[in-house]
Structure 1
Amino acid sequence: MKLVLALLLLAPLSPAVAQQAKPMAAPAAPTGPVTYGPGHKLCSDWSAAEIKAEPSEYMANRFFVAGVMSAYNIYVSPPGFDIGRGLTPDDMKTFMHGECAAHPTETIATAATAFVSMMKARQSK
């Protein structure tokens, strides 16, 4: 009995078994910027979270967009520039709702980037 148990435990270490094992597939490389939090989720997730009775996921999504705006102000814009100047909370919500409804397979990060681009263009006029 001990010999059978030892063989069962050692079998996976045998070269013959190792040669037969299929290598694990490498994870798919990200196709866009690496994001943290809700940014990697799809726009369809944004749309689904909008209608849930429990608002925590939807609020996290909105905070992610606010973080993208803040990062733009910190790392891209000149001092004192505010990408959100003249913006109401409903403006961001409306844009993201429309963008995600039109492009459900894009990421929330991509939609948030489009929002910042729209805001930048609006302020450049």
Structure 2
Amino acid sequence: MNADAWKTFPNAPLPGTRICATADAPTTGVKSFDIDGFPLILVASAEGLRAYVNACPHQFLPLDWRSSAILSGDGDLLRCSNHDAGFDACTGAGIDGFAQGCALDPVPISVHEDALLIGGPSEN
């Protein structure tokens, strides 16, 4: 998995770009964002908050294109609403169906004051 693959997507935001106020980030479940044409999905789990490019690697459609109910009840599996591909919610690894052999592209995030930002602490 290439940790910088997200930077190759069209309209990829620069490190330091604001995603949302920390109060607007999900504490459970998922929430998708369009950051000036860049599709992002935040996943809240017991492991913490994760961010991925909201594009199924199978056909690059948003995971939640047909339904926003894409996280399993136990919070462990993201399921593409288009192809039923299953991804580990904490790692993005493809673990079921069309997702096997591929992965979601992770996007580093960090908190600065009251905002959630694109990029890790060393990038902002």
The two structures share one fold, judged by TM-score above 0.5 = no
TM-score by length of 1: 0.24
Asked which structure has the greater RCO (Cα within 8 Å, sep 6+), the reply is: 1
Structure with the greater alpha carbon radius of gyration? 1
Q: Compute the TM-score of the two structures, normalised by the length of structure 2.
A: 0.24
Higher strand share: 2
Higher helix proportion: 1
